Amino acid sequence: MSSNELAENTVREEGEHGNAGAPPSRRGPLVAATALLACLGLVGYGMLDTAEAPRRPRAVPTAEVTYEVTGTGTAEISYLARSEDGTATVETAVTLPWKKSVRAPLGRTPTVAVVLDGEGGQATCTLAIHGRHVQRATALGDYGRATCTGTLPAAPHEA
């Protein structure tokens, strides 16, 4: 058998048995198309995943609260502001007078507390909700204390 006849027999046998019926010129694009479809399927699965996306926390409803401390001396002032967990904000070494308007979460108790320093003096705290005066208290002397508290309506229940 000549080398040409041997090569022809090899090509015929590969064409009949080795390529599962696809001509050699189409095998490359067929493999590429199959790989592309597999990749697109994986990407589509990731994009169509039905797991619920994390929700943004809802905004907490608030009310306008105005705190004011008048008087003489230096004081430490703590008050409730827009903190959802209801923790107080503390300002130290505040020279009086002092005033602050904030948004406080509904359902919390707006409070302003003043503590005079060791030098003493006099301080009066006042609290207003939506511009309406709610409470007034006075601190006197060394480390004198006063607290003003108001009431905010409860936050509406989530639907």
Q: Is the peptide bond before 61 cis (omega within 30 degrees of 0)?
A: no
Burial (CB count within 10 angstroms: exposed 0-12, middle 13-18, buried 19+), residue 113: buried
Q: What is the pLDDT of residue 13?
A: 47
- What 3-state class would DSSP assign to 158? coil
For residues 39 and 130, which has the higher predicted lDDT (pLDDT)?
130
Per-residue pLDDT at 159: 43
Which tokens in the block code for residue 159? 């639907």
Average pLDDT over residues 122-128: 96
Residue 147 pLDDT exceeds 90? yes
Three-state SS for 42? helix
Host H or E run for residue 38: helix 24-47
Distance separating alpha carbons of residues 90 and 100, to the nearest angstrom: 12
The string of pLDDT tens digits covering residues 16-69 is 445 555 566 677 777 776 766 666 665 555 555 556 666 666 677 888 999 999
Q: Is the pLDDT of residue 151 over 70?
A: yes
Interval 60-105: pLDDT, tens: 788 899 999 999 889 999 998 876 566 788 999 999 999 999 988 8
Rounded Cα distance between 113 and 134, Å, is 14
pTM of the predicted protein model: 0.60
pLDDT at position 3 over 90:
no
CA angle 101, 107, 112 (to 5 degrees): 40
